[in-house]
């Protein structure tokens, strides 16, 4: 299991050991590709964020890239309701961005900002869906692992520790049905981009 996958599982308090689960590479690849898509726009969004600081006097240093992209969506389309806009920004920030939108006319390009916003939003959505599938996989694998431990403990009790056949490690659990749904998510996300 990769360090990134281990970090993700540990962060969400899943006590997973590498011998409990064989994770298909598609899940890791989906999470990696989502992060890569978002991080590809890091430099351009951070440099464009300087305009927000200068024009609207809003400090964006602690904002993540989704929030920056959403801010530019608000600036580019002040009359439209931005998905997640009310969750990401205070009412005052939204009003300031909308009121200052005409001041950004020669500072930022509308179409690239909208494209970046849509890519980041799709990537975050795909990452969330993939994480949900991963958590279901981990839960089912953990249940299977615990059931196997109970069976082994029962067989130890019946046959005694000396007559037990010893297997190195634990047989990994592979759950193909959920992994296939991850593949479907990845394929559908790829089709939406085209």
Q: What is the pLDDT of residues 152-188, one digit of tens each?
A: 777 765 444 444 444 444 344 444 445 555 555 655 6
pLDDT given at position 5: 66
183 with 134, same domain: the answer is yes
- Dig out the tokens for 10 from the structure: 């540990």
Which of 38-47, 112-121, 130-139, 154-163 shows the lowest mean pLDDT across its residues? 154-163
Residue with tokens 């990452």: 127
111 with 125, same domain: the answer is no
Quote the CA–CA distance of 192 and 12 in Å, as a whole number: 29
The segment with the largest mean pLDDT, out of 24-38, 101-115, 170-184, is 101-115
29 with 125, same domain: the answer is yes
| 21, β-bridge pairs | 173
Dihedrals φ, ψ of 165, to 5°? -80, 130
| Domain assignment present for 162 | no
Average pLDDT over residues 15-23: 56
Domain count, the chain: 2
78 with 103, same domain: the answer is yes
| Domain assignment present for 84 | yes
**pLDDT band at residue 131 under the 50/70/90 scheme:** confident
Helix (H) or strand (E) holding 60: none
Tell me, rounded to whole angstroms, the distance of Cα 163 from its chain centroid. Answer: 47
Average pLDDT over residues 84-91: 83
Average pLDDT over residues 115-143: 86
126 with 31, same domain: the answer is yes
Entry pTM? 0.61
Quote the CA–CA distance of 71 and 50 in Å, as a whole number: 12
pLDDT given at position 54: 92
pLDDT given at position 82: 80
Total residues found in the chain within this entry: 194
Domain carrying residue 103: 42-115
Report yes or no: 185 and 133 within 8 Å, Cβ to Cβ: yes
Quote the CA–CA distance of 60 and 44 in Å, as a whole number: 14
26 with 55, same domain: the answer is no
pLDDT given at position 165: 44
27 with 80, same domain: the answer is no
The most distant pair of C-alpha atoms in the chain lies apart, rounded to whole Å, by 80
**Conformational region of residue 175, where left means phi above 0, alpha means psi within -120 to 50, and beta covers everything else:** beta
Tell me, rounded to whole angstroms, the distance of Cα 48 from its chain centroid. Answer: 24
127 with 175, same domain: the answer is yes
């Amino acid at each position: 299991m990769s360090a990134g996958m281990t970090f993700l599982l540990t962060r969400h308090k899943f006590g997973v050991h590498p011998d409990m689960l064989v994770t298909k590479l598609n899940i890791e690849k989906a999470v990696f590709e989502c992060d890569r898509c978002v991080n590809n726009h890091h430099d351009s969004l951070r440099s464009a964020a300087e305009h927000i600081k200068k024009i609207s006097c809003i400090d964006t240093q602690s904002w993540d890239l989704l929030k920056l992209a959403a801010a530019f969506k608000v600036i580019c389309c002040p009359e439209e309701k931005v998905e997640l806009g009310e969750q990401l920004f205070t009412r005052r920030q939204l009003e300031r961005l909308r009121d200052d939108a005409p001041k950004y006319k020669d500072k930022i390009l509308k179409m690239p900002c909208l494209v970046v916003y849509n890519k980041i939003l799709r990537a975050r959505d795909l990452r969330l869906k993939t994480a949900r599938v991963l958590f279901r996989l981990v839960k089912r694998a953990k249940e299977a692992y615990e059931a196997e431990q109970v069976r082994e403990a029962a067989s130890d009790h019946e046959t005694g520790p000396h007559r037990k056949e010893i297997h190195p490690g634990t047989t990994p659990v592979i759950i193909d049905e959920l992994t296939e749904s991850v593949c479907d998510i990845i394929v559908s996300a790829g089709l939406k981009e085209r």
